[in-house]
Amino acid sequence: MPCGSLDVVGCGIRAVTQLTLEARRCIEAADLVCYAVSDRVSARWLERRHPAAVSLSAHYREGSDRLETYRRMIDALVEPVRAGRRVCAVFYGHPGVFVHPSHEAIRRLRAEGLPARMLPGISAADCLFADLGVDPGSGFQTFSATDFVRRPRCLDPSAHVIFWQIDSIGDNSYRSTGNDARNLPLLLTALAGHYPPAQPACLYEAAVLPVGRPVMRWLALRELWGGAAVLDGMSTLYIPPIRAPQPDPAMRQRLGLPAV
């Protein structure tokens, strides 16, 4: 029996145009392509590109627990590899950024001695850096909103901070009509310990279609108490630094750096 393998690739956020050359090669070389993308242009492109392209979205069931959905997706990736097929899994954005099934499928296959790898893709955070002119090198923190609320962490307000999945905090069930952001106040309460109510923040949505433009909605944090009314489906919350980090004069001297 031929040896199966799994390549996990990302197709970026902006349909088709952010697919890397190596990801494209993996798609073309695969026996089976399984995809989970957020737009129809990418889905159509994949189906035209590969006769055996199947959507993983069939594994979502109304009201069902996301972890159950992920278990079905993982099986859909792992079983054909065990049967000797070369599988390419395509996820939107970066395939390893907030994508549990991709990491878990690779972990299981490697544990069985089967080849499995992940190639990087362009994530929503990468688009945000470009569109908002943010250089993460000057200090950057990134959190899933649910994780931040559930397991409070040290937040550095002198860093650029982003929160993912702000519309589904603590909400594990899938609804085809979208999430209702009912737990957003929990995040805002947690942030109130670090930022004043007037702190500027941006609800950011990267362009998904090649002709589209990013949405960057600046508001004061207190305006987010409006909840679902102010959120768009795929928004990521960006909070700019509240102040510059404090320099350490002794370290500057030791390193021989000029005062800036």
Cα–Cα distance, 201 to 221 (Å, whole number): 6
Q: Which is nearer to ligand SAM, 4 or 77 (CB)?
A: 77
Q: Which stretch binds ligand SAM (CB under 6 A): 20-28, 58-66, 89-97, 239-247?
A: 89-97
70 is catalytic: yes
Q: Which is nearer to ligand SAM, 75 or 171 (CB)?
A: 171
- C-beta of 259: minimal distance to ligand SAM in Å? 38
Q: Which of 86, 94, 108, 160 binds ligand SAM (CB under 6 A)?
A: 94
99 near ligand SAM (CB under 6 A): yes
Q: Which stretch binds ligand SAM (CB under 6 A): 109-117, 201-209, 239-247, 249-257?
A: 201-209
165 near ligand SAM (CB under 6 A): yes
204 is catalytic: no
13 near ligand SAM (CB under 6 A): yes
Residue nearest ligand SAM, CB atom distance: 93
Return the active site residues.
Answer: 66, 70, 92
Residues contributing to the site for ligand SAM (CB under 6 A): 13, 91-94, 97-99, 123-124, 164-165, 204-206, 208, 234, 236
